[in-house]
Structure 1
């Protein structure tokens, strides 16, 4: 069978014909735009109150590392309970948590920011594996699943680009408090869309009801571990996003580039607001790159699995070139182009590895597989981002850290080319 390309017309057909995916997509749209509003405001708040790259790095770690520890439990819950209900609960909880940011008024209250970020991360850790695991359930066949994955990634990228750009403008015009309220409302709208979804969750039919004492039962997690270790190709694919986490330093260096290297001074903007605009541009370019990657890559690869494998390798090379160029960029225009290139590669890796996991993992294990997928990503991302924050505070320049990030991406590129791709060609 010939490989069919992923295209804008394929996206449109999927949204027109598949009601459940359309509702899931709308929920993703509103909540993620709010998230990127929120990120700009939080990073700006921390830099204003502390002036430390380490403070941003701690925020990043608290937003990602807890997922590593909560992933086994989140995976089991998503494999034993209704994934739709888990996602709705997580959305409602996050709506309340985000409003807590309104209480932060001084540097002495920065620990409250960290606590709220931690709680929000716990909820995301239950939501995202459920959302990802639901996609094959509500789509028909490999082609529609590929289109759905590409559209989800493209949407995430658009939301990053649009939300970051708009978030910077709203924060400058209306203040950070308005941003926090808007983000809270987006989670409630997302929950309403999810509530309207109607589909059979067959994984719950064979599973026994979840009980509180099951929290201390590690046998389902161990069963999932044995399942993954029994398939070398599945394990290799599962570790791809761990390699993607090697560019986790971007969470720290892009805000620092925006505030200290490329602030945008218009009119009588104070340094804080000029820095927010600089961050907004670079984070928006990150979204633009992530938007371009799946569009080009999906058209090129279609459903050809060999091209999915090659595309992952090319994605790592794009990251290496992009972040090395960012470290050397003399102007914000060249810096923007470098960020676009790097994150086009990163998004390509995300879509292709997720699609391969959907093809390989059985439905009854998908919640655990995708929880582990995220867990390895956030572990490497946390280590790299925290190290970047410390290095900048220890007087390493942010440009040096960008170049090192680019060089680090060559490691997973080499491992994938030398060891993983041959597994699929045997």
Structure 2
């Protein structure tokens, strides 16, 4: 935290995340209330990630060609206006199901544009020796609101209705723009203007990822939780809460907050480990444990037990993503970082596939069976991955 500009960035992460988590719990609840369909609820969550497929690589090239700070400001101004518009639509009483899908898609487009920028800025503001801790602290800012945001969102749904949540989200995103303005990127980290065409820069980024085998392994492994773990928790949590645990919006908020608590605990664990050596082995071990915790979660029937198990799931997810993120940021040159991170984050764009799979299984067999299947597949793929990606298993830094 001794780096002044990095403090501004993680503070902005806090407000970004606050708006994001309040939005997620409210949007999922709205979707299930309006459709009463596990499949459509999963689709609403999944469609939010779809823009990562077609906008992510474009945003990555832009991130490596333009002022990253200005890009971050522009994205959050647009997200703030989007949240305000949706809040007014709910407040007017004219909300229809298709509006929820459109909002989810546009919101996802904003995240697909902003996330590569935020990720690429972290190594610009801290030296490489402190990168692991910087990513952990940035994640801590995210996960503090992950603990509180869903619970607050659930309480507000019951107390004052969902429109208020989106007003709060709009305010949070506007505050981000004000916080980011003072950030100064060191001269040695400012991106030089590219002499290549947009298409050439895009192709160069793809070739780099394919050529660098460790980077390619990290990108491919990122697909596992994004298809078989995160959609089976995030998109199905409203269904699991209502149908299996038989709780209201408050209960949903408590479960999501428990996952955030686990993620925060994972942040503390990573910070205590510091720049540990065997990051490759950690990556696979945590992936296996995450699959196991999902299997156990699927068998819980009481809210308190679900909250306890999901704490472990949150911790494992956080440690996995931070470790994966740190490795890929460490081995990627600054001039390529925006493009590489946007390709790395294409896994977000495949979340709709996982959400549709999860929603379809839940529609016919129940949310508990769907989550059980997702956990089993995650567990199996990470074990197989140890043998397929042996160089990554042996990776040290």
Tell me the distance in 1 between the aligned counterparts of 2:136 and 2:225: 17
Displaced runs of 4 or more, over 4 A: 105-108, 201-205
Tell me the distance in 1 between the aligned counterparts of 2:57 and 2:201: 9
Which of 23, 29, 39 pairs up with 1:54?
A: 39
Structure 2 residue 311 is the aligned partner of structure 1 residue 330: no
Tell me the distance in 2 between the aligned counterparts of 1:41 and 1:330: 23
Q: Is the 8 A contact 1:130 1:367 kept in 2?
A: yes
For the residue of structure 2 that corresponds to 1:81, the secondary structure is coil
Corresponding residue for residue 410 of structure 1: 379
Structure 2 residue 239 is the aligned partner of structure 1 residue 256: yes
Q: Is the 8 A contact 1:50 1:107 kept in 2?
A: no
Deviation at 1:40, TM superposition (A): 1.5
Tell me the distance in 1 between the aligned counterparts of 2:176 and 2:195: 26
Structure 2 residue 127 is the aligned partner of structure 1 residue 155: no
Deviation at 1:208, TM superposition (A): 3.7
User: Structure 1 residues 60 and 141, CA, compared in 2 at 3 Å: closer, same or farther?
Assistant: same
Which of 130, 139, 163 pairs up with 2:117?
A: 130
* TM-score normalised by length of structure 1: 0.87
Query: Equivalences for 1:392-407 in 2 at 5 Å?
Result: 392-393=362-363, 395-407=364-376
User: Structure 1 residues 412 and 158, CA, compared in 2 at 3 Å: closer, same or farther?
Assistant: farther
Tell me the distance in 2 between the aligned counterparts of 1:218 and 1:415: 36
Tell me the distance in 2 between the aligned counterparts of 1:109 and 1:166: 24
Q: Work out the number of aligned pairs and report it.
A: 391
Corresponding residue for residue 121 of structure 1: 108
Structure 2 residue 276 is the aligned partner of structure 1 residue 304: yes
Deviations 1:274-300 (A, max 9, x none): x21121011111111111223224424
User: Structure 1 residues 297 and 25, CA, compared in 2 at 3 Å: closer, same or farther?
Assistant: closer
Which of 384, 391, 411 pairs up with 2:361?
A: 391
Which of 260, 266, 281 pairs up with 1:287?
A: 260
Deviation at 1:421, TM superposition (A): 3.9
Structure 2 residue 70 is the aligned partner of structure 1 residue 101: no
Q: Is the 8 A contact 1:290 1:346 kept in 2?
A: yes
Query: Equivalences for 1:81-100 in 2 at 5 Å?
Result: 81-100=66-85
Tell me the distance in 2 between the aligned counterparts of 1:126 and 1:220: 17
Question: Cα RMSD (Å) of the superposition?
Answer: 2.0
Tell me the distance in 2 between the aligned counterparts of 1:417 and 1:424: 6
Corresponding residue for residue 7 of structure 1: none
Corresponding residue for residue 24 of structure 1: 9
For the residue of structure 2 that corresponds to 1:329, the secondary structure is coil
Deviation at 1:317, TM superposition (A): 1.9
User: Structure 1 residues 412 and 291, CA, compared in 2 at 3 Å: closer, same or farther?
Assistant: farther
For the residue of structure 2 that corresponds to 1:305, the secondary structure is coil
Tell me the distance in 1 between the aligned counterparts of 2:315 and 2:52: 24
Corresponding residue for residue 224 of structure 1: 205
Tell me the distance in 1 between the aligned counterparts of 2:262 and 2:284: 17
Deviation at 1:57, TM superposition (A): 1.4
Q: Is the 8 A contact 2:64 2:335 kept in 1?
A: yes
Deviation at 1:174, TM superposition (A): 1.8
User: Structure 1 residues 419 and 305, CA, compared in 2 at 3 Å: closer, same or farther?
Assistant: farther
* TM-score normalised by length of structure 2: 0.93
Tell me the distance in 2 between the aligned counterparts of 1:418 and 1:370: 25
Deviation at 1:151, TM superposition (A): 0.9
Q: Is the 8 A contact 2:136 2:270 kept in 1?
A: no
User: Structure 1 residues 424 and 396, CA, compared in 2 at 3 Å: closer, same or farther?
Assistant: closer
Corresponding residue for residue 166 of structure 1: 152
